[in-house]
Structure 1
Amino acid sequence: MPPSSQDCLHTAIKDFLRYVLDERSLSPATAKGYRSDLSRLLRFAAQRDRLLLSALDLEFLREWLWHESELGISRATLARRSAAVRSFSSWAQRSQRIPIDVAARLRTPKSGRSLPRVLTQTQAEQVIDIVAARGADDDPVALRDLAIIELLYASGIRVSELVAINSSDLDFTRLTVLVTGKGAKQRVVPFGVPAKDAMVRYLDRARPALLAAGERPTAALFLGRRGARLGPRTVYGIVARLLGGGDGSGPSGPHTLRHTAATHLLDGGADLRAVQELLGHASLGTTQIYTHVSTERVREAYRLAHPRA
């Protein structure tokens, strides 16, 4: 069934541009800037098969701005593009085309080739140890949080992918999970024994208690206190709190674990294309940012350790 015109990103952008000219009476120059910025977003969305308005989320918009910053454009231009998308998203929510304003927390990234924040292996292990200690008394929420952290770090999946997982998507024999990514594309992602152990413990000792608090059964793997499927915002808050990143919008949000998983794989000698497939990147260029992270880590180790550095 074809999508409705209300859910077509291209149509929504055209309607928004008409709105800012006719109803907000913006200057032609400002409207031209909006058109340019949103056209770039549309092209980026087309490259990633995200041409439905309902397919946009905060993570995707951050990825787009990151991509733009990698092109070396000025911070002022990045700020303008961020503002254009926030204005568009706000209008789409007010006009009831989307249920929430997905760009409300969108912030302008620093320009230049600043690299994603990555935890060291020691830092990652410390975080996991702290979360594991909280679950020592079999508290359901603490066991759930440990399973979330372990799976995000082990697999490098997106938060939006994590919350969509059903219990039946797990294969503990092969140590894999079936993930539904962007554009409803599915892929099989491996995880390790520590993540398996955390999820088995969660499924045995925590999920039944959380499920009992709900009004109806659900196939969802990760549940909230009221027994319903966790949403992306809730997971952002959980992970950011555990990593010390406040509300999830800062550098220590859930995407830090995705960055960390990818970088540690490359540090360990994983093939770039294998990492691309693991992360679900449509373009190898998106994955290549992690090669820069690994290179920077090598350079920093050299600078600190070599007597002739």
Structure 2
Amino acid sequence: MQLKNISNESNMSIGCVYIPPENSKYASKDAFEEIEREMVTLRDDEQLCSLIGDFNARTGTLLDFVIPDENLVEVLDENLNDEITDFLYDYQNLISLKIPLKRCSEDKMRPNTQGYKLVEFCKRNNLYITGGRTGSDKGIGKATTKDNSLIDYFIVSSNLFKYIEEYEIIPFDALFSDVHKRIHVKLTTEVTTIEKEKSSHKRKTIKWIEKDKHKFIENIRKNEEKVLDLCNEIESSKKDNHDINRVITSLTNFYSQAAKDSFGTFANKNPIKKKSWGQK
């Protein structure tokens, strides 16, 4: 996903990531290289970048940045231009924003192979792990699974930290995942509101209603076998992309219908206003 004219400074890309566990039959040793190639292809020079998702990478408190060797910088001084200098000293943006360079983590297990690959990926692309550095997670680095491992991340360009208003690891809830906790991120920026003409079309939306959560759970459980059948379709044999997309669409429709039956739908009766993400 790309967002343009962020605070009149730059554009921003947000990528959602899933990398299978390194011991999985679906694991790929080139996963990070593939993500990097895709990111470089889509990203322009001034674009802020972020990735969020399940990397299945245990990084502990490994450094995700490089401090240049001053002796080497002096030797190369004549060949350094502003662009190279900005790249080498990008980590100083964190210092100026009062973001700690040192991360914290509740995951005390040794980093795994994908953990080392993730921090090297961050170093090559000047991306930084937000966990343990900002929001209510600052100085903590909460585990992102019920097994006390930290394998889910929100990684960002250094200048994106100033737009992070909230960052939190939500307590585990089996309604959303069998293992993972949710990452809550709120980004805020100042933008110009663009008014659009009043539309006669009233888009219907679904809103989560906490007190009716039990209805949602009941509607899912009534058709639990259908969900299991759809999941088994993927697991039972090798499927091509068409089959996988069909199953994912069926699952999406199933959960959407369960939400409609539980919470109903609401029409927006106000004039449509186009506002940028995160605007207060």
| TM-score, reference length from structure 1 | 0.24
Q: Which has the higher contact order (CA 8 A, sep 6+)?
A: 2
In terms of Rg, which structure is larger? 2
| TM-score, reference length from structure 2 | 0.26
Larger strand percent = 2
Larger helix percent = 1
